[in-house]
Amino acid sequence: MKPVLMCREVLVDFAGFKALQGVNFEVYPNEVRFLIGPNGAGKTTLLDVICGKTRACGGKVIFFSHDITKLQEYKIVKLGISRKFQSPAIFHQLTVWENMELSLKQNRGLFAVLRAKMSTEDREKIVTLLKRIHLLDYAYQKAGALSHGQKQWLEIGMQLIQEPRLLLLDEPIAGMSGAEREKTGELIHEIALDCAVLIVEHDMDFVRRFSKQVTVMHEGKVLCEGTMEEIQQNEKVAEVYLGR
Chain positions contacting ligand ADP, by CB under 6 A? 14, 17, 19, 37, 39-45
Nearer to ligand ADP, 41 or 158 (CB): 41
**Smallest distance from ligand ADP to CB 30, Å:** 25
The three-class DSSP label of residue 196 is: strand
**Smallest distance from ligand ADP to CB 194, Å:** 27
Name which of 149, 148, 150, 169 is nearest 160 in CA terms. Answer: 169
Distance spanning both ends of the chain, measured CA to CA? 36
What's the DSSP call for residue 227?
-
Nearer to ligand ADP, 90 or 222 (CB): 222
* Cα separation values, 224 from 23, 127, 192, Å: 11, 40, 23
Nearer to ligand ADP, 43 or 84 (CB): 43
**Smallest distance from ligand ADP to CB 40, Å:** 4
The three-class DSSP label of residue 213 is: strand
**Smallest distance from ligand ADP to CB 94, Å:** 31
Nearer to ligand ADP, 45 or 103 (CB): 45
Tell me whether residue 117 is exposed, middle or buried, using C-beta atoms within 10 angstroms of its C-beta: 0 to 12, 13 to 18, 19 or more. exposed
Nearer to ligand ADP, 17 or 140 (CB): 17
* Cα separation values, 62 from 34, 66, 120, 213, 214, Å: 19, 5, 36, 20, 20
**Smallest distance from ligand ADP to CB 221, Å:** 11
